[in-house]
Amino acid sequence: MRRRGKLPGAGGAVLALMLVLALAATACASRTPAGQGGQGEGARAVIRIGAAGPYTGDLSKIGLDSLNAIRMAVEEANRAGGVNGSQIEVTVGDDAGDAAQATLVAQKFAADPGVVGVVGPMNSNCVNGALPIYEKAGLVIISQSATNPALTEQGYRVMFRVCPRDDAQGPAAARFISEELKVGKVYMIDDKGTYGQGLADQVEAALKKLGVAVTRGQIAPTDRDFSAILTRVRAEAPDLVYLALPNPAQAASLVIQARSMKMRTKFMGGDGLKEKDQLIKGSQGAAEGFYVTAIGKDVREVPEAQSFVKAFEEKYGAMSIFSGQSYEATSILIAAIRRAGVKDGKVDRGAVRDAVASTRDFRGILGFPVSFDGKGDVVGGSIYVLQVQGPDFKEVKAYPIGGK
């Protein structure tokens, strides 16, 4: 009885195992990377968007807030049906703000046929290092924050960005310094990087056209003791110190040391320093009155962005400066993938690139309709000047790009 009773059970187990294997094979066949194609009519592909940014290291606060915004845009798109019924996944590539690591991330994304577009990299040096790899792979990228003008002047067809360039930000900063603050002498400090030195070059050139005297100095990204350069700054007795730095925590440390040396000079910086936790809270009050330029309007003040802001802050807390731009860049990329379409389980990278290039008047959460010009630069927008007032930044001036 025992033997006879055991045989039907074993047979059932074998049948159950065969059924599980068959179901697993079916599942695998229906979730293959989009770029592999050839899955036959009706096959559903997994579509991957690469997210490249500094998710570890000194810039990780800004990077992780941007990554969360990318994920939010993808989650919303999937709830709305994804792309022709196919779900979208986010593949994360941490470059730590380092150009060498950015090339490794680009190689990883390029080798994955399921990745059909990338949001990021965020830093100009990382974009500059990784662009040749993305170009060779035909993999479109939309940067939310890389502002160096040269990035879209090298003829790469895959490069797009939703942020204005530094040759718009620099002149706007110079106009504010000269026309609003009536400053005649500026000391500029950069970190020798692609972003910092490039932004400083733009601001310096514009200031000199306006008759403002400029002295330049440099620090390293790893510096934490600024006594040497602050001694030189004090000797020059400038009306304003301009910090072309990408790291708001480093800027906060520098301002704290300047105030401890009894320096009461005005401070101003670029878009990378508009980070409330690290610059305002991190400076413990020393950054009060600090001016920054921003490459987009604070999305908390944009009516179309209110549902995004509420959902983000409920889930992740306060946003960083590029959270809105990251959400916008992802939404534009998803819209382009939808226009490119999924055909027999395949999304063509070239079709996605062409769809991104054809983006016109995309109405998202940035407060202006987004289009791209022939170089991949965003059309329109404004440069904003904000000041640290108490626990937050307050807008004090706006300069429409191309306007007066």
**Neighbouring C-alpha atoms within 13 Å toward the C-beta of 347:** 38
- For the question of whether the overall pTM of this predicted structure is more than 0.85, the answer is no
Determine what percent of the chain is predicted with pLDDT higher than 90: 80
Average pLDDT over residues 184-207: 95
- Banded pLDDT at 352 (limits 50, 70, 90): very high
pLDDT given at position 404: 53
Q: Look at strands 185-190 and 141-143 and give their pairing.
A: unpaired
Task: Say if residues 267 and 291 touch (Cβ distance below 8 Å).
Answer: yes
Token pair belonging to 239: 């009306």
pLDDT at 318 over 90: no
Which residues on adjacent β-strands are paired with residue 106? none
Instruction: Please answer whether residues 53 and 70 qualify as being in contact, where contact means their C-beta atoms are separated by less than 8 angstroms.
Output: no
53-87 in b/e form (b: 16+ CB < 10 A) is bbbeebbbbbbbbbbbbbbbbbebbbeeebbeebe
Question: CB–CB of 51/93 below 8 Å?
Answer: yes
pLDDT tens, 342-351?
Answer: 887 889 999 9
Distance CA 299, CA 274 (A): 13
Give the pLDDT confidence score for residue 43 in this predicted structure: 59
pLDDT bin (cut points 50, 70, 90) of residue 58 is: confident
pLDDT bracket for residue 22 (50, 70, 90)? very low
**Would you say 355 and 116 are in contact if contact means Cβ atoms under 8 Å apart?**
no
* Mean pLDDT calculated for residue range 275-295: 95
pLDDT surpassing 90 at residue 210: yes
* DSSP β-bridge partners for residue 83: 86
Q: How far is residue 167's CA from residue 174's CA, in Å, rounded to a whole number?
A: 11
User: Out of 13-17, 85-89, 292-296, which region has the weakest mean confidence (pLDDT)?
Assistant: 13-17
Q: Quick one: pLDDT at residue 14?
A: 42
Question: Coil, strand, or helix at residue 232?
Answer: helix
Q: What's the pLDDT band for 7 if we cut at 50, 70, 90?
A: very low
Does 186 score more than 70 pLDDT? yes
What is the pLDDT at residue 13? 44
Which residue shows structure tokens 């409330």? 276
